[in-house]
Amino acid sequence: MTAFTSPVGRFVQGSLFELQTKDSTGAPLVTKTGPNAGQPASRSFFAVAWAKNDPLFMPFYQQMQAEARAAFPQYFDAAGNCTHPNFAWKLMDGDGTDQNGKKNSEKEGFAGHWVIKFGGSYLPRVFYMGRARPEDQIKDPNLAPRGYYIRVIGNMKGNAPSNKPGLYMNPDIVEVCGTGEIIVSGPDAAELLAQAPAVTLPAGAGALPGLPAAGAPAVSLPGLPPAVAAPGSAGVLPAAALPGVALPGATLPPVTAAPAALPSLPVLPNHAAVAAVLATPVYQLSAAAVAAGYTKESLNAQGHTDDVLVANGYMVRVS
């Protein structure tokens, strides 16, 4: 078993506050093994997406590979490649297809990303970044909806013995680090209402208070800024800091539109593609630089390039 702290990614599926009692087909969940086999069961499930070019994701994925290899050495060759065709990595290709043949890219937040599924027998504890006292634990789903940016603290381990080898990605704590465009499940209300017949009020029905008459221009509600169009063709609002929480600029991955045409990838995970990215070195500020109060941005702003920072010991290679 290996403890992990994931990099910050976007919460795109599942729930942080509600246990599942049915599987993906709608059938009730039951305990599969042990003395309680056949009895009703429940589990937590949520998924987090990271851009494929996010360098912070690759060391995390490499950690998953090491844990899987340690748990199931018989399914890995000398070069570290998994030889089991159906190993349950808990990793989804946002540009691939799911087990039902549906394109993952049609799911909001998936295109151009690697997506990891987390889950366990219990719900994770949820906190805003910088607020980790027991009384600060978030219980209201509206305060951490899908679409926000989070990181996950927990443990990973192989599921041996099992007829379907794979990894458990068990979450313990979820830290909410930034807001994002909220992902709403189900049909879009505006689209459904636009297709519905026009409203005909029966005799005696009056207009709702505070709403403009039909055909009148829309007005902004008191205290709320006017709506703005989301930048970029992907229609994703940039992440913003939560009220009262200091959010370092380097914490969140950049939110950009997905490329116009992303290549289809082979059976998941695509080890060749991941290995190519892992070959790119990743650097971070040295402990001495951090202790001195420097940030990479402040040093770059003074004209010091990354090469200069590495040569002088202000940045060190981490992978």
Q: What is the pLDDT of residues 126-136, one digit of tens each?
A: 999 988 898 99
9-26: string of b/e by CB count within 10 Å (b at 16+)? bbbbbbbbbebeeeeeee
Greatest pairwise CA separation for the chain in angstroms = 81
pLDDT at 220 over 80: no
Residue 240 has pLDDT above 50, yes or no: no
**Burial zone of 284 (CB within 10 Å; 0-12 exposed, 13-18 middle, 19+ buried):** middle
Residue 46 — pLDDT band, cuts 50, 70, 90? very high
- Per-residue pLDDT, averaged over 139-160, amounts to 90
End-to-end CA distance of the chain: 21
CA angle 129-135-136, nearest 5°?
20
| 54 phi, psi to nearest 5 deg | -80, 110
User: In this model, does residue 30 exceed pLDDT 90?
Assistant: no
Lowest mean pLDDT among 13-27, 115-129, 142-156, 178-192: 178-192
User: Mean pLDDT over residues 129-149, rounded?
Assistant: 90
**Domains of the chain, residue spans:** 2-24+37-184+243-278, 283-317
Determine the angle formed by the axes of helices 57-71 and 271-278, rounding to 10 degrees.
Answer: 120
**What pLDDT, on a 0 to 100 scale, did the predictor assign at position 174?**
94
What pLDDT shows up at residue 124?
Answer: 93
Q: Looking at the predicted structure, is the pLDDT value of residue 255 above 60?
A: no
Q: Read off φ and ψ for residue 131, nearest 5 degrees.
A: -130, 85
Reply yes or no on whether the pLDDT at 230 is more than 80. Answer: no
Rounded average pLDDT over 244-251: 39
pLDDT above 80: residue 235: no
Nearest to 32 by CA among 162, 119, 137, 122: 162
d(Cα 161, Cα 171) in Å, to the nearest integer?
21
Instruction: Please name the helix (run of DSSP H) or strand (run of DSSP E) that holds residue 62, with its range, or none.
Output: helix 57-71
Window from 50-54, 155-159, 163-167 with minimum mean pLDDT: 163-167
CA distance 116 to 169: 9
Banded model confidence at residue 8, pLDDT cuts 50, 70, 90: very high
For residue 278, the model assigns a pLDDT of: 54
pTM (2 decimals)?
Answer: 0.57
Question: Is pLDDT at 125 greater than 90 in this prediction?
Answer: yes
Structure confidence at residue 34 as a pLDDT band (50, 70, 90): low
The average confidence (pLDDT) of the chain is 75
Cα gap 5→177, rounded to integer Å: 13
Q: Which residue has the higher pLDDT, 201 or 151?
A: 151
Look at 273 and 170; give whichever has higher pLDDT: 170
Four-way CATH pick for 2-24+37-184+243-278: 3.30.1300.10, 2.40.30.70, 3.50.50.60, 2.40.50.140: 2.40.50.140
pLDDT at 237 over 70: no
CA distance 319 to 317: 6
Contact 159, 120 (CB under 8 A): no
Q: pLDDT by residue (tens digit) across 83-100?
A: 887 788 888 899 988 877
Confidence of residue 137 (pLDDT cuts 50, 70, 90): very high
